[in-house]
């Protein structure tokens, strides 16, 4: 089954927030934001703007009737700056005018009087200055000292990974319409409608039931709209509330790139201890997370980093410390993987480091340490299942690698066009690490003609969650999928919904849908039993739209049954709640069962590097991925391929450049910030789904798919290093992503000079 929106998208008929027909009296918002990274806000000179053509209102923090506060986990982020600005792009004022152009002109004429203060953009510097977002946390298991006693080799180093722009196709946008009794209806491009509702109510100083948030679909999100769709939606609501007119707020691409947060850059120190045979006995790591100017989701992201400190490996002695550092950059935020990719990059850096020093092939160290069934993670869970090893073995089989040949070849010189290979095993925990977020609801209506409407808290952002929800509804009711319509995500139909995030959208909302549908089906079957006057104890079921009794079809079909049930006053609606079972976590001991299950897989990446030019191609990526019993292979393949490409982009070409000092983002457009396109995509991407052999905790025996494949992309970084070292074994490239062509060329040049 295809993505539900495939035809609409191809024909350009899908409706996004920006496609809504605007009422004639709609106002358009334009923002005045901080031009400096840090400063004292002394004054706002808006006298000229106030008199400009079409300008209706200029909104600042003084106009906020409720709280000027949009913080999520920690309340440290004003909607509009009050007396201090702490990042470039921090909103100071919102100009409302009757056209976007007039609003933009007026906003440009507003002068901010700011006394600049020193800015900190480096997390280690922030740490030295004590600018922490929260106290550091440490996850540990075993004893580092004991572990090191048995290690013949200890290597330490530093690994840095850069940020990443989400580059959702649809930039941040919201549209709010005032309604009677001081209510506001918001159309927002958000992953978290209930969070938008909550913050809008807080800012407007009204109860949540006066705010309705409706989400049709998003043109991509990738985590960038989990928290950071909120300010624009709340501003639109505030504008509507203050003026009594509809208000639209939309960022253009450059504004979006400059003003919104990104994946967190990390700078990390590691110390790895190994035995002679390559077995890792000890792992110590400290992560300095670049949080940006407000906490946003940084503490949750750092927590997920700590959960993934050992990646896909078992290490008996671990101490992992995470430090969330406040800096004067836009608040960094959720991005596919949510801190886990940063952890895995450090782990692979250390393994690569050790493999070089020991003269071993990286894959032989990886294989020796790969998680086995029953191995314990530092946070107390055990590794269940053998899927990771099965995917690893499948990839090894495909590559025909000779396991007896575990030594690196130390060749040097020769042709400057070199190949590099790297395997990337991935193990990713599924569930929100904040246990309370692991709940969802569904509301299902069967109409008298037999058609079905399903509402859940899941947001369709292109990932295909609606296709899976429709499949769950059709599969549970056992009617044709054409009878199912998945409705918009709306806070009046799905209340208190968690954001569609953490790869849990289909699992949790799908399970809630299954419960609601089963409930309706049970009532219908009881009613059918009465209609058909079947003997007590008969087994009634729905099979492809027909009622069966003890497996034999009857003349009673879905439409007739529904119609008769309605006339007999049987309820055709159901609301259900699903809470992922058996999750707990104790933040004192840092132990528990934070995840419902893990998703695993292995990728093998082969690259060709031209060591004269620094240019490279990714020749092939073989992925063997565990999707359980996939609900939808087309959707899942799309997620694996898309995630892989996005991961490759993160570690190769996607480079955020900032002016120094000052911290102004220089790579603020697609001319200067490069993402993988069809020309830089691997020549060959081969995705194989692991044969399902077990019972899975995901919906309909499947497994979540959204985030894990991102991390397959990390292998490309190390494949490039492998190619580089085969030509110049002496090069110490360090571990700093992204490895752009520019950086490769610089490394090669510097090496030539040394020679």
**Residues taking part in catalysis:** 707
Give yes or no for residue 502 binding ligand MOS (CB under 6 A): yes
Stretch that binds ligand MOS, among 21-29, 244-252, 332-340, 655-663 (CB under 6 A): 332-340
Q: How far is CA 478 from the centre of its chain?
A: 33
Give yes or no for residue 223 binding ligand MOS (CB under 6 A): yes
On the 0-12 / 13-18 / 19+ scale of CB atoms within 10 A, 651 is: buried
DSSP-derived letter for residue 5 is T
Give yes or no for residue 226 binding ligand MOS (CB under 6 A): yes
**E strand or H helix at 253:** helix 253-259
Give yes or no for residue 433 binding ligand LUZ (CB under 6 A): yes
Stretch that binds ligand LUZ, among 59-67, 427-435, 539-547, 676-684 (CB under 6 A): 427-435
CA pair distance 388, 145, nearest whole angstrom? 29
Cβ atoms of 357 and 151 within 8 Å: the answer is no
DSSP-derived letter for residue 407 is B
For 376, other C-beta atoms within 10 Å of its C-beta total: 15
Give yes or no for residue 334 binding ligand LUZ (CB under 6 A): yes
Which of 60, 172, 191, 456 is close enough to bind ligand MOS by CB under 6 A? 191
Return the number of the residue (178 or 292) whose C-beta is nearest ligand LUZ.
292
Cβ atoms of 102 and 52 within 8 Å: the answer is yes
Stretch that binds ligand MOS, among 319-327, 335-343, 383-391, 732-740 (CB under 6 A): 335-343
Return the number of the residue (334 or 547) whose C-beta is nearest ligand MOS.
334
Taking CB within 5 to 8 Å according to partner kind, which of ligand MOS, ligand LUZ, none is near residue 304? ligand LUZ
Taking CB within 5 to 8 Å according to partner kind, which of ligand MOS, ligand LUZ, none is near residue 652? none
Cβ atoms of 360 and 406 within 8 Å: the answer is yes
Residues 6+ apart with CB under 8 A from 718: 348, 352, 362, 420, 422, 424
Give yes or no for residue 338 binding ligand LUZ (CB under 6 A): yes
3-state SS, 330-347, equals: CCCCCCCCCCHHHHHHHH
Which of 58, 334, 351, 474 is close enough to bind ligand MOS by CB under 6 A? 334
The CB-nearest residue to ligand MOS is 223
Cβ atoms of 274 and 281 within 8 Å: the answer is yes
Please give the structure tokens belonging to residue 645.
Answer: 């490409």
Site string for ligand MOS, 704-733 (x = CB under 6 A): ---x--------------------------
Taking CB within 5 to 8 Å according to partner kind, which of ligand LUZ, ligand MOS, none is near residue 388? none
Residues 465-504, interacting with ligand LUZ (CB under 6 A) = 501-502
The CA–CA distances, whole Å, from 280 to 29, 315, 378 equal 56, 6, 14
Give yes or no for residue 338 binding ligand MOS (CB under 6 A): yes
Return the number of the residue (258 or 336) whose C-beta is nearest ligand MOS.
336
Please give the structure tokens belonging to residue 548.
Answer: 């069966």
* Residue 579 C-beta: closest distance to ligand LUZ, Å: 16
Strands 735-736 and 684-689: what pairing? unpaired
Give yes or no for residue 281 binding ligand MOS (CB under 6 A): no
Site string for ligand LUZ, 220-259 (x = CB under 6 A): ------x---------------------------------
| E strand segments, 327-464 | 417-430, 439-446, 452-456
Give yes or no for residue 260 binding ligand MOS (CB under 6 A): no
* Residue 227 C-beta: closest distance to ligand LUZ, Å: 8
Give yes or no for residue 78 binding ligand MOS (CB under 6 A): no
Which of 434, 478, 608, 736 is close enough to bind ligand LUZ by CB under 6 A? 434
Return the number of the residue (114 or 437) whose C-beta is nearest ligand LUZ.
437
Give yes or no for residue 297 binding ligand LUZ (CB under 6 A): yes
Return the number of the residue (338 or 558) whose C-beta is nearest ligand MOS.
338
Give yes or no for residue 462 binding ligand MOS (CB under 6 A): no
* Residue 743 C-beta: closest distance to ligand LUZ, Å: 29
CA pair distance 365, 358, nearest whole angstrom? 10
Residue 321 pairs in a beta bridge with 138, 286
CA pair distance 419, 726, nearest whole angstrom? 8
Q: What is the DSSP string of 447-514?
A: -TTS-EEEEES---SSS-HHHHHHHHHHHHHTS-GGGEEEPPEETTTSTTPPPS-TT-HHHHHHHHHH
Cβ atoms of 375 and 280 within 8 Å: the answer is no
Interface residues with ligand LUZ (CB under 6 A) are 226, 297, 300, 304, 334, 338, 432-434, 437, 501-502
Residue ranges that bind ligand MOS, judged by CB under 6 A: 191, 223, 226, 334-336, 338, 501-502, 707
């Amino acid at each position: 089954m295809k993505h539900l929106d495939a035809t609409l998208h191809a024909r350009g008929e899908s409706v996004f927030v920006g496609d809504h027909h605007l009422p004639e009296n709609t106002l358009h918002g334009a923002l005045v934001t901080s031009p400096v990274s840090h400063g004292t806000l002394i004054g706002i000179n808006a006298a000229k703007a106030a008199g400009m053509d079409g300008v209706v209102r200029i909104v600042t923090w003084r106009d906020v009737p409720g709280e000027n506060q949009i913080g999520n986990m920690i309340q440290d982020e004003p909607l509009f700056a009050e007396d201090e600005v702490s990042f470039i792009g921090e909103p100071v004022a919102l100009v409302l005018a009757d056209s976007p152009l007039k609003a933009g002109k007026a906003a440009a004429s507003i002068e901010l009087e700011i006394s600049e203060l020193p800015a900190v953009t480096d997390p280690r510097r922030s740490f030295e200055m004590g600018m922490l977002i929260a106290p550091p946390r440490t996850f540990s298991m075993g004893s580092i000292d004991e572990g090191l006693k048995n290690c013949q080799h200890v290597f330490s180093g530093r690994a840095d990974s850069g940020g990443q722009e989400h580059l959702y196709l649809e930039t941040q946008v919201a549209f709010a319409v005032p309604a009677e009794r001081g209510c506001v209806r918001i159309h927002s491009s958000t992953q978290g409608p209930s969070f938008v509702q909550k913050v809008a109510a807080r800012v407007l100083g009204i109860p949540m039931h006066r705010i309705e948030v409706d989400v049709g679909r998003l043109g991509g999100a990738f985590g960038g709209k989990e928290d950071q769709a909120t300010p624009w939606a709340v501003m639109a609501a505030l504008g509507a509330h203050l003026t009594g007119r509809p208000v639209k707020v939309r960022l253009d691409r450059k504004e979006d790139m400059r003003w919104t947060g990104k994946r967190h850059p990390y700078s990390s120190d590691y110390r790895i201890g190994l035995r002679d045979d390559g077995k890792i006995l000890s792992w110590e790591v400290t992560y300095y997370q670049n949080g940006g100017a407000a906490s946003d989701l940084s503490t949750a992201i750092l927590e997920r980093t700590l959960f993934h400190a050992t990646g896909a490996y078992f290490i008996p002695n671990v101490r992992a410390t995470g430090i969330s550092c406040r800096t004067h950059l836009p608040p960094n935020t959720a991005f596919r993987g949510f801190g886990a990719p940063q952890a895995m990059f450090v782990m692979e850096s250390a393994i690569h480091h050790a493999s070089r020093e020991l003269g071993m092939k990286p894959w032989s160290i990886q294989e020796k340490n790969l998680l086995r069934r029953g191995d314990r993670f530092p946070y107390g869970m055990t590794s269940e299942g053998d899927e990771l090893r099965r995917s690893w073995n499948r990839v090894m089989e495909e590559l025909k690698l000779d396991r007896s040949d575990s030594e690196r070849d130390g060749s040097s010189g020769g042709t400057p066009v070199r190949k590099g290979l790297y395997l990337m095993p991935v193990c990713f925990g599924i569930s929100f690490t904040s246990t309370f977020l692991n709940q969802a609801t569904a509301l299902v209506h069967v109409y008298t003609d037999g058609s079905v409407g399903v509402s859940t808290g899941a947001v369709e952002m292109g990932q295909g969650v609606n296709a899976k929800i429709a499949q769950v509804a059709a599969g549970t009711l056992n009617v044709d999928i054409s009878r199912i319509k998945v409705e918009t995500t709306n806070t009046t139909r799905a209340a208190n919904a968690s954001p569609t995030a953490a790869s849990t959208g289909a699992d949790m909302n799908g399970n809630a849908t299954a419960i609601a549908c089963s409930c309706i089906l049970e009532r219908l079957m009881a009613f059918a039993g009465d209609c058909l006057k079947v003997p007590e104890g008969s087994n009634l079921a729905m099979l492809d739209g027909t009622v069966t009794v003890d497996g034999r079809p009857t003349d009673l079909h879905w439409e007739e049954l529904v119609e008769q049930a309605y006339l007999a006053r049987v309820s055709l609606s159901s609301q259900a709640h699903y809470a992922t079972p058996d999750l707990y976590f104790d933040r004192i001991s840092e132990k528990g069962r934070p995840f419902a299950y893990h998703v695993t897989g292995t990728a093998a990446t082969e690259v060709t590097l031209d060591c004269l030019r620094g240019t490279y191609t990714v020749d092939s990526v073989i992925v063997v991925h565990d999707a359980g019993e996939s609900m939808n292979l087309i959707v899942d393949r799309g997620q694996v391929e898309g995630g892989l490409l996005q991961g490759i982009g993160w570690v190769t070409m996607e480079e955020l450049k900032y002016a120094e000092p000052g911290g102004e983002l220089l790579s603020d457009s697609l001319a200067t910030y490069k993402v993988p396109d069809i020309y830089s995509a691997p020549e060959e991407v081969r995705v194989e789904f692991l044969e399902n052999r077990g019972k899975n905790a995901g919906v309909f025996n499947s497994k979540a798919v959204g985030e894990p494949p991102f991390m397959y992309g990390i292998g490309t970084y190390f494949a490039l290093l492998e190619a580089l070292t085969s030509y110049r074994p002496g090069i110490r490239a360090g571990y700093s992503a992204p490895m752009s062509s520019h950086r490769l060329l610089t490394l090669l040049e510097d090496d030539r000079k040394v020679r």
